[in-house]
Each structure stands twice: as C-alpha cells, then as structure tokens.
C-alpha cells in the first residue's frame, strides 16, 4: 500500500475539508492507518474524524505487518517522516532529474537511523512514467501525444506552460525522468537511477498516463517481462549498491 498527501487539492472541498489542515489531516490519518495495521480492535481519537473505541477493523491483511510505503514528492519533511516512522519510501519522480532526489533520500535514511531503524528496513522505491517499444523512436512517438494531452489538461488548471516536444525529448535523455525507449535504453536508465539514488528496491512503471492503445500496452508489458526485467536483474547482480548513510562531509554540504 502506497499512501501520501497527494499532489492535487480538489478533493478538499469535495469532502468538506479545510486546506489549512493539509498536513495535520495526513499525519492523523497515517497514525490511524498504522494503528489499524497493528491492531484488529482499535482505540484511537483525533481531531478530524470520529474516535474508535475498540471496534474491529476487517478484513485483516495476510502480511504481518502489512507493507506500507509512504509516497513522497519533494518535501523534505515527508522524507524525514517516513524515515522516523520506519516506513518504506516511494518517491514520485515524474519530471526533472533523478539525482536531485538523492539528498532527500539521504535525509530519509538518516532520519530512520536516528530513530533506530536498520538500513535494511529503510527501502526506497521510485514511481516513474515509462513505456518501452521495439526501438527508441517508436517509443517516443507513441508516448508523446497522450503524455502531452494529459499534462496540458492539468497545466491549464495550474498555470503550467504547454508541453513541447523539446521538453519531452529532454526527459528522454539519460538523466531525464521518463523511462521511455527501447529495452536497452530503459535498462541503462534504470541501472543509472539505482546507482544515483544509492540503491532502490522497487520500481513502479506507469504507462497509463499516455492513453496508449491496448495492443501497444500489451506489447510493452510483454517486452518489460521478457527483455527489460531479465536485463535489469543481470545488470544489477554485480553492481547493485548497498544503501548507506552519506559521509559526514556530504551531509554538511
């Protein structure tokens, strides 16, 4: 389960919530979720919803404890919160360069270590937009129209400039956020991301943003399973870095 505060605020008026409670709502509801994860019968009270007085919460998860990933964007406090709570970290990287998130991931690991959690427990995943096709040009040409349409629609409400092909192509570069290309290109970028972020343990690969035809989606899934996944496993078998806290000089910088 990946939980986060989200990047859209339209739900607040829909549910009668006040935007000024943005952080306290999430902190409280996350606390309740973690309490439910640990206990079948829950005693809990808070500011934003009715109290629970020993009611049972069902069904129960198969795992004990249910894995909970904290979804984060670029807010340092969110990374520190995940580390302090000892939660798994899922970083949404849908633009820019992956390496800019390294200081925030270091912050997560430092906060977790200070709270007494082992580095092995503090796993990092990334959520990326991607698509794989037989060749690089085809992948970009397939993905761009739907990608541009989706982000332009959102941008009209938020005042973003229109998405251009030049902007899109920049995100396809080796350090860009989009995992779009032929199998070899996508594998190379995944390996680079793993190295630049100090080791990741999970990658969510979202293709739906581009509204691709079903046949192309199915083919991309096939390529991911038969080509990309084995190539990534082979590449990481000998080079996967172990998560580590940054040196003191790095932290000071």
Tell me: do 30 and 73 sit in the same domain.
no
Tell me: do 121 and 224 sit in the same domain.
yes
Answer with the one of 45, 66, 87 that is the final residue of a domain: 66
Query: From the CB of residue 124, how many other CB atoms can be counted at a distance below 10 Å?
Result: 23
Answer with the one of 35, 66, 97 that is the final residue of a domain: 66
Scored b (16 or more CB within 10 A) or e, 199-215 reads: bbeebebebebbebeee
Tell me: do 54 and 100 sit in the same domain.
no
Tell me: do 130 and 21 sit in the same domain.
no
Tell me: do 30 and 84 sit in the same domain.
no
Tell me: do 183 and 103 sit in the same domain.
yes
Task: Render pLDDT for 97-149 as a digit per residue (tens, 0 to 9).
Answer: 999 999 999 999 999 999 999 999 999 999 999 999 999 999 999 999 999 99
Tell me: do 79 and 54 sit in the same domain.
no
Q: What is the CATH number of the domain that holds 114?
A: 3.20.20.30
Our count of domains for the chain comes to 2
**Beta strands, E only, 45-82:** 52-56, 69-72
Answer with the one of 14, 37, 66 that is the final residue of a domain: 66
Tell me: do 171 and 126 sit in the same domain.
yes
Angle of helix 76-85 relative to helix 102-114, nearest 10 degrees, comes to 30
Structural domain boundaries, residue 13: 1-66
Tell me: do 54 and 74 sit in the same domain.
no
The stretches in the chain having pLDDT less than 70 are 240-253
Tell me: do 50 and 137 sit in the same domain.
no
pTM, two decimal places = 0.90
Amino acid 243: pLDDT? 62
């Amino acid at each position: 389960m990946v939980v986060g505060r989200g990047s859209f605020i339209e739900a607040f008026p829909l549910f009668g919530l006040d935007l000024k409670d943005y952080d306290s709502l999430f902190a409280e509801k996350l606390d309740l979720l973690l309490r439910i994860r640990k206990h079948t019968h829950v005693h809990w009270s808070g500011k934003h919803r009715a109290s629970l007085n020993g009611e049972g919460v069902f069904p129960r998860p198969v795992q004990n404890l249910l894995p909970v990933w904290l979804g984060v964007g670029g807010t340092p406090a969110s990374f520190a919160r995940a580390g302090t709570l000892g939660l798994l970290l899922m970083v949404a990287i849908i633009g820019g360069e992956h390496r800019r998130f390294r200081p925030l991931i270091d912050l997560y690991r430092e906060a977790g270590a200070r709270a007494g959690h082992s580095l092995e427990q503090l796993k990092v995943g990334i959520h990326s937009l991607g698509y794989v096709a037989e060749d690089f040009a085809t992948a970009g040409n397939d993905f761009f129209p739907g990608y541009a349409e989706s982000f332009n629609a959102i941008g009209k409400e938020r005042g973003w400039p229109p998405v251009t092909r030049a902007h899109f192509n920049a995100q396809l570069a080796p350090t860009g956020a989009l995992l779009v290309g032929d199998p070899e290109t996508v594998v190379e970028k995944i390996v680079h991301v793993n190295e630049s972020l100090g080791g990741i343990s999970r990658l969510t690969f979202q293709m739906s943003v581009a509204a691709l035809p079903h046949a192309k989606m199915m083919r991309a899934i096939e390529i991911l399973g038969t080509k990309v996944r084995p190539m990534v496993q082979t590449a990481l078998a000998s080079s996967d870095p172990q998560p580590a806290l940054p040196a003191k000089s790095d932290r000071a910088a």
